[in-house]
Every structure is written in C-alpha cells, then in structure tokens.
Chains A and B, each alone.
Chain A
C-alpha cells in the first residue's frame, strides 16, 4: 500500500481533524460490543450445562439495537471519508469473521445446540460487525474534512 498523496494547497488551509464533532457512532458500537461480551460470559459460565437464555437474549436484542443505531448515524455522515472507511472495514471484517468463526467453532465442538447455539451465532454476528465499525469509523473520522458543512 502506498502513502496517500495530499494536495499542498488544501493542507495550508485545513485545521486539525480533531476539532470536528461526530455523532456517537463508536460509543454506541462499544456499548453494543460490551453487551454481547456480557451475554457471552453469561452463556459461557453455564458450559457444559444448558444456559438460561432470557437475560442473554435481552442483552443481544439491546446490543443489536445499539449497533443498528450506530450504523444509521454513520450512514448520515456527510462529508465523510467513505472510501477510507470501507477499505478499513472490509479488512477488519475479514479478520473478525475469522475470530468469530473460531469462537463459534469452540461452542459447536462443545456440543452447544439448538436455541443456545442460535443465540451465540447472533452474538457473534454482532461482534463481527461491531469491531470493524469501530475501527473503520475511528480511522475515517480523522481522514474526513475537519468541519461539517453546516
């Protein structure tokens, strides 16, 4: 990968990217990640028994709502370094799909079946989305223009 060429003229006028305020995309995704981690710990703490699914299911539902809100807020960002965002997102997604796949494999290997396995799968999907969103947003926000047009 090569360094990004930057226009010297624009550099002269540009204030730091730190100044621009963004909606809480990363914060919501971190909250979502924390909830699936708590849900995962609750379920793992019952292995090898069958875990009660009520609390983990509620945590997963709230977590999904948070990540969807995060993605909605993200989708409304203009101007935003979308090409940078998607470049980072797709590689991070690949890495975390592999991670999530390994965790899922461990649960399947340990004879988790039926509803608990389905819930774990949903949690892993959220996990595999949360982390790439956080990483790609963190990178792209500092590659975006310092001020929104309004």
Chain B
C-alpha cells in the first residue's frame, strides 16, 4: 500500500457507521450476462437479422428509457430527501447494478438501432424519418457525454469511496448529488427520445 493510499480516508468525525456488506464495484456474476448480450448484438448486426435487431433495439431502448425516467424523476427526488445514512445504504446496493446494466443497455440499443435504421432505409436523406433520426443522434450524443463524463464516473467513485474502511461522507454527498442531478437531466431528455422514436415508428 502506498503512502497516498494510507492517507485516503475522510475526516475523523465521520464515523464509519453500522457494519455494511462488502461492496462489489463491478458485480462479477453479471459479467457472463453482459458477454452474452454483446455476442447476441454482434451476431444480430453481422447477420442483419431483423427480428434480433428489433428485439435488441426495442427491449434495450425500452429498459434504458424507463430506468432513466424512473431513476431521474422518481427515485432521485425521493433519495434526495432521505437521511444521509439511508442514501448511502441504498446507493451501496443500487449503484453496482447500474455499473453493468446501463452501459449494456445503451450499447445494445444504439448498435442495434443504427443497424436497424440502415436496414430499413431510414437513414436515406429522402426518407421522412431521416431528420428525426439526426435529432435523436444529437439527443443521444448529449446524453452520452453527460452519462460517460459525469454520471458513470460519479457512480464508480461513490462505490470506491464506500469500500473504504472510513468513507468520506463529504465526497459521497458531493458525488451522489452529481449522480442524481445528471440522472434527472438524462431522464428529462429521454422524454424527447420517446417522442422521436414513437414518431419514427409510426411514419
């Protein structure tokens, strides 16, 4: 252990609190499922298989949108009003699942969706859905920067902080606030995605 790591704990007045189950930043049991999903998506794209592409895009997109909306607009505000200890307990159980679930859903939705749009001719400039899809790229782009640049790093940093013997609650509070705000923003942006996708599907 380096000197830096010896000094990494938070202030002394922040007691560790009641014993907490060991936190696994990346739930290893979920990795085979992720691997299976990735292989399935690659096979769907390689085979240009309509049912599989539709399945990946609709199921992945539906779950991604619903989870973003639910976390951002329902769980987030409730969590923000809970006592700090309750928030920490919730985060310790909830966030490791998000580390695997969300990137997998995003990958599944976007990769299959792009291939599906290409296969169905929606990307052709003359297609009435073309402009809508470009707008959806832009919304997904903003969400990707927020999710990859702020939300996911905050998620992982909270988990790493919680694994320490004496977590620094100021760090956890700061990062949780960041996580909840960005989840709220991406949740609201998902409403725009819902409007666009239902429009594309009905034209």
Taking CB atoms, residues of chain A closer than 8 Å to B38 are: 98, 102
Q: Which of A26, A49, A102, A134 has the most CB of B within 10 A?
A: A102
Given contacts A47-B118, A109-B45, A139-B160, contact A16 B7 (CB under 8 A): no
Q: Is the CB of A69 closer than 8 A to any CB of chain B?
A: no
Q: Which of A28-36, A53-61, A113-121 contacts B (4 or more CB under 8 A)?
A: A28-36
The residues in B between 110 and 131 inclusive whose CB is less than 8 angstroms from any CB of A are: 111, 114-115, 118, 123-125
Q: Which residues of A lie under 8 Å from residue B152 when comparing CB positions? A: 131, 135
**Which residue of chain A has the shortest Cβ distance to B8 in the bound complex?**
A143
Q: How many interface contacts (CB-CB < 8 Å) are there between A and B?
A: 162
What's the least CB distance linking B164 to chain A, in Å? 5
Residues A14 and B123 in contact in the complex (CB < 8 Å), given A5-B165, A30-B150, A83-B2: no
Interface residues of A in 120-135 (CB under 8 A from B): 130-131, 134-135
Q: Could you tell me if A106 and B138 are in contact, using CB atoms closer than 8 angstroms?
A: no
Decide: A6 and B137 in contact? CB cutoff 8 A. Answer: no
Expressed in whole angstroms, the Cα–Cα distance for A143 and B103 within the complex equals: 25
* Inter-subunit contact B165/A106 (CB<8 Å): no
- Among B22-30, B59-67, B68-76, B192-200, the one that faces the other chain is B22-30
Q: 1/0 per position for B155-187, CB-CB distance to A under 8 A?
A: 011001101111010110011000000000000
Kindly list chain A residues whose C-beta atoms are within 8 Å of the C-beta of B12: 11-14
Interface string of B36-66 (1 = CB under 8 A from A): 0010011001100000000000000000000
Q: Quick one: given A41-B137, A83-B5, A139-B156, are A109 and B46 in contact (CB under 8 Å)?
A: yes
Across the A-B interface, the 7 shortest Cβ-Cβ residue pairs: A138-B153, A30-B149, A16-B170, A6-B9, A11-B9, A12-B12, A143-B8
Seen from chain B, the residues whose Cβ lies within 8 Å of a Cβ on chain A are 1-12, 22, 24-26, 38, 41-42, 45-46, 103, 107, 111, 114-115, 118, 123-125, 134, 137-138, 141, 144-145, 148-150, 152-154, 156-157, 160-161, 163-166, 168, 170-171, 174-175
